[in-house]
Amino acid sequence: MDEKNKTLTDEIIMSKIYLVRGQKVMLDRDLAELYGVETRVFNQAVRRNISRFPDDFMFQLTEEELKTLMSQIVTSKKDGRGGVRKPPLVFTELGVSMLSSVLNSELAIRVNIKVIRIFAKMREMWLTHKDILLKLEELENKVDGHDRDIQIIFEYLKQLLNPPQIPRRMIGFNAKDEE
């Protein structure tokens, strides 16, 4: 294992996962870097096995999606090269799983296992947060229906604590009564 792979943390992998078309995906260049191969070599291996990668496993970004993605992540041109020549391929969790059958080096297998575990952890976190959000929404709906009821209860309590004062006739001697 090389020095770079020793420092491959969950955070590094998570920082390379993006949301495109409502799916968590990884760019071909990021995966190639993680696997220790050139992007060109990585994509050649994928294209030689294209039947293993249907649209829900891998797809190519549109120019518009690429622009949006590049505005979200800071990228720089490498050594005078013109940047990305064509929109990259992106791989969903299923596509990353399939890569293990295409890239068969020891490093690729170790990295692939780590990446798949990160995807699973992210899915679990999302599901946990989804449950919490659903519970909060449920509570909010219950409270929304009770707002008027609570307001009425407060009005009655105020009436009980501060009953209306009926003007009472004064008892006793009044100088006005003599006139």
From first to last of the 179 residues of the chain, give the pLDDT tens digit.
444 445 778 888 888 899 899 889 999 999 999 988 899 999 999 999 999 999 999 999 999 988 888 877 755 444 445 566 788 999 998 999 888 888 878 888 888 888 888 888 888 887 777 777 677 777 766 666 666 777 788 777 777 777 667 777 767 776 665 55
Supply the CATH classification number for the domain 3-121.
3.10.260
Q: What is the pLDDT of residue 2?
A: 46
Domain boundary assignment for the chain: 3-121
Secondary structure (DSSP) of the chain? --HHHHT--HHHHHTTEEEETTEEEEEHHHHHHHHTS-HHHHHHHHHHTGGG--TTTEEEPPHHHHHHHHHHS-----TT--S-SSPPEEE-HHHHHHHHHH--SHHHHHHHHHHHHHHHHHHHHHHHHHHHHHHHHHHHHHHHHHHHHHHHHHHHHHHHHSPPPPP-PPPS--GGGG-
